[in-house]
Amino acid sequence: MNDKQYILDYLGYLKELSRKIGVRVDFGNLVKSKSRNKNKNLENAFFYFDKNLSLGEIYRVNQEVDEKLFWFLRQKLKEIDGLNQAIFLGIGLFKYIIKENGSYTNKAFGPIFIINLEIEVDDEDRSIYIHIGVPFINYDLFNNLSENLEDNENSIQLEQAVDFIKSIEDKLEESNNLFDLKALAKEVILEIPEKFNLAVDQSIKIEIENIREIFDRKESFYFDRNYFFVNNFPSELSTYKSLELLIQEINEEGDFKNSTLKKLFVSAFEKK
């Protein structure tokens, strides 16, 4: 195997690693830090998106054709300008609520999958271009759900939950578009109560109406839609994208553009 292939394989490994462990920003409870007027916040926090796009596709949002989405994105981009935040696409939304000491507590409120987006505004043709990136599992959500699992080295419950997440990762790799992800998320939600030993009296209710109308219900539910939302931006996703671009550069150019970077990597693999 030549130096180039060693480097590509290693970069691919780092890229995959950054995706799997580099998303430790709290996507597990999207409303826990919001103000008391949650309904008003929720009304402005999500924009539902029901189109089916392929992963990697670039979608054009024209002001005249899709005015509401255009202005939602423009407003959110303005709000997060200069902040360590970004717009994401959420796949499904699970709310898990329990009753503790006579009061109800949201233990989890977040998407099953999250897609990183690249968004570019073109003022000349009054359009916004959205690049549909790579989806990843919302590990924060599953971490919040794991409180009921036995926490010891020989825990059968913990092993079962880990195997379940691994199976989701495998199926996620086979997904090609947003509808694939939506179907997989719905499949996942039906198994979550058993796999994570959740205290739910009945099957999780599947909802598709406006989230603002159902959020205050004192019950767990699953919102079966895709939507744009804003959250803090994990710096590791920038690492992921940088590695992706570097791999693309080597494949397209046949070599590094940066000679210093090339020397560093070649030196690292000289002994192979």
- pLDDT (tens digit, 9 = 90+) per residue, 83-121? 878 999 999 999 988 887 888 887 889 999 999 899 999
pLDDT bucket at 204, cuts 50 / 70 / 90: confident
User: How far apart are the C-alpha atoms of 217 and 152, rounded to whole Å?
Assistant: 34
C-alpha of 1 from chain center:
35
- pLDDT (tens digit, 9 = 90+) per residue, 137-185? 888 888 888 877 766 555 677 778 878 888 898 899 899 999 999 999 9
Which residue is it, tokens 């939506």?
Answer: 182
Higher pLDDT, residue 101 or 226 = 226
The pTM score is 0.74
Q: Is the dihedral of CA 46, 92, 53, 132 positive or negative?
A: positive
Task: Report whether pLDDT(11) > 80.
Answer: no
pLDDT attached to residue 12: 55
